[in-house]
Amino acid sequence: MSRKSGGQNSKHKQQVVSKRKVDVHFAALNQHYRHPANRVIQYMALPVFFFAVLGLVWMIPFPEIAFLKARGYDTFLNWGSFFIAGFVYYYLRLAPTLSYAVLLTVGLFAFFIVQLEYIEQAGGPAVWLVCAILLLVALAALAVGKRMERYPVSMRSFLRLLALGPIWLWHFVFKRLNIPY
C-alpha cells in the first residue's frame, strides 16, 4: 500500500510544478507586453534606459575616502558601483545565469560611460547631460510602446518592466539559444 501511495505522491508532485519567482515576473511581463511593434521598441529602448540610469547614478558625486585615495583604489568607486551591485544581486537571486549576462552588459555599459567621461574631459558634452537626454528618449519610446498595447498597462507593470528589463531581454536570448536559466 505504501508503494502505491508513494507512486501517487510522486505523480502528483510532477503535476504540480512550482514556478520560480523569475518565471512569474516574465509571464506577467509577457502577458502585458504583446504588441510586436512594442517588443521592437523594448528591445531598443530598455538597454538605452538602463545605460542612461547607470550613467546618471555613476555621475552622482561620491565622497572622497582618504584611505582609498592614498592607495589609488578610488578610481572607479562611485554610486554606480553600488547601483550595479544591488541590481546584480537582485538578478542573481532571481536567475543566476541571467544575472551573469546582465553583469557582462553592465561591464560594457561601464566602459562606454568611462569613454563619455573622457570625451567630457576633452571638452565634449557632460556625461549627465548625454545620459539625461538618452533617458528621456528611452522613456518616451517606452511610453509610446506602452500605449500600443491592446489593454491598458498599469504603472506597476511598467515599473516592473523598467526594473526587470535587462534580465527579461536576456531571457529571450537564452530561450532562443536553448540555454537554461
Calculate the average pLDDT of the chain. Answer: 85
Query: Over the stretch 35-58, which tens digit does the pLDDT of each residue have?
Result: 999 999 999 999 999 999 999 999
Q: Give pLDDT, residue 75.
A: 62
Quick one: cell of 20? Answer: 520560480
